[in-house]
Chains A and B, each alone.
Chain A
Amino acid sequence: MRLLDEAETTVVFEKLLKFIGNNLKNIVESPARRYCFRLQKNRVYYVSEALVKRATNISQKNLVAMGTCVGRFTHGGKFHLTVQCLGLLAANAKHKVWLK
């Protein structure tokens, strides 16, 4: 598990921006600053800090996943969102439609 470096964070944020827009601020700078993005293998996770601290005790080999998986990086460096992030996106989406 490691932090994303600058290039990777830009890619991820850009992808999220397309769906969320300015609400990205709410995700990244959550009020209590409690959540953060971490990379494990090539998957990006949105984890709470407390969980991150505890996850550092697990070796890289054994750590499978933590928090919600927002997406993954492909071999070519592109970032694809996964379905697990829908909950996160739905809460902060730019345009919402309510169906009766």
Chain B
Amino acid sequence: MEAENQIQVDLGHLLAFDPYHHFASPPKSREDLVTECLRAGTKLVQAITDGLFNLSATEAIEGPLVKLPKPTTRLPREKHLPRPKPPTKWEMFAKSKGIQKRKKNKVLWDEQTDSWKRSYGYDRVNDDADVPIIEAKMTDEPGSDPFAKRKEEKKKRVEKTEKNRLQNLKQAAKVGALPSHVQLAATALPITGTQAAPKKITKDELGNVAGLAATATASGGKFDKKVAGEKAVKHQGKHRKFLPAAEGSGMGNREKEQTDKVLSKLMARNSHEILNVGKAVSMYNVKKQRDGRNQKGRSSFDSSSKLKPNGKPMKGDKKSPYQKSRKGGSHGGGASRKGKVD
């Protein structure tokens, strides 16, 4: 009976599968279903962890390290099988004429130089450069260069083969059987008549191009009317904006702001003081003075509150001397709260 209730565990994929699971009765509510599923799920996860801990572990810095075995379940293909290529022009021609493929030798005998040469490439047979003399024929015009003519003919042949190659690729692309490394080259061609593969332009690219176009006016696009919804061009290119080196009168506001900001942040971070003693003492003294004054003359207290429009006592009265010892920012504030003297 135990063998029947085995959960299949594939540690390579960290997968656990219970083929015998079934609901005894249809669950009454969503919560019941959820609890049932969670219970079954925990059993499966437990099976995976049991398997994992049964594997031999090596010690690493973070803890025990386990090498998972090879997965046993075969996952389906992610991409489709490669599609059959359409025959190239030469292949069709060869088929129609009945031409068979023949095995070529590595080296061939070259009559020109009386040596063994390759059939193509570096040291090849029938190389144009090896021909020292070309005898003039009756049909030749005087003044024409036969060597140049040969070069031109070769160029034409090369162009023709290249054209055929591209045509073959286009045919293959139509079917979708392009070899993957060729994909980009083929889509860059001006394909006429056929449905070109749409080139995906990302949002960023579009934004960049739009920015370029917008600023390509005489005044840098500053005075152009913006279309509804068009955003301002973000910094294009390497654009770093710095504050001016010397502002109008003395150290200008902006530089002061920047340095103050940085300074306060750093000071707050590095201040090990929990308490600003000087400030605390002065606040305490002030409070003491105020209390003394209040005790002496009640009228002064009343008049001071009446002076205020709401008739309420002034705000700064009831503050503890330790509360205000904050040095810039939350860091100092938190620290001060921690160090409250009771």
Contacts and interface: CB of A to CB of B under 8 A. Distances in A.
A28 B251 contact: no
Interface string A1-45: 111011001100110010001101100110001101110000000
Contact of A9 (B259, B267, B270, B271): B259
B241 to A, nearest CB: 9
A21 B270 CA distance: 8
The binding surface of chain B is classed by DSSP as helix
A10 B263 CA distance: 8
B255 interface: yes
- A: interface residue count bin: 20 to 34
B244 A14 contact: no
Interface string A46-84: 000100110010000000000000000000000000000
B245 A5 contact: no
Given A3-B255, A6-B258, A17-B270, A29 B263 contact: yes
Nearest to A56: B246
B239 to A, nearest CB: 13
A29 B328 CA distance: 15
A28 B259 contact: yes
A13 B240 contact: no
A3 B245 CA distance: 6
A72 B250 CA distance: 25
Interface of B: 240, 242-246, 250-251, 255-256, 258-263, 265-267, 270-271
9 contacts: A1-B245, A3-B255, A9-B258, A13-B266, A24-B266, A28-B263, A29-B260, A52-B245, A53-B246
3 pairs of A and B residues whose beta carbons are closest in the complex: A3-B243, A9-B262, A53-B246
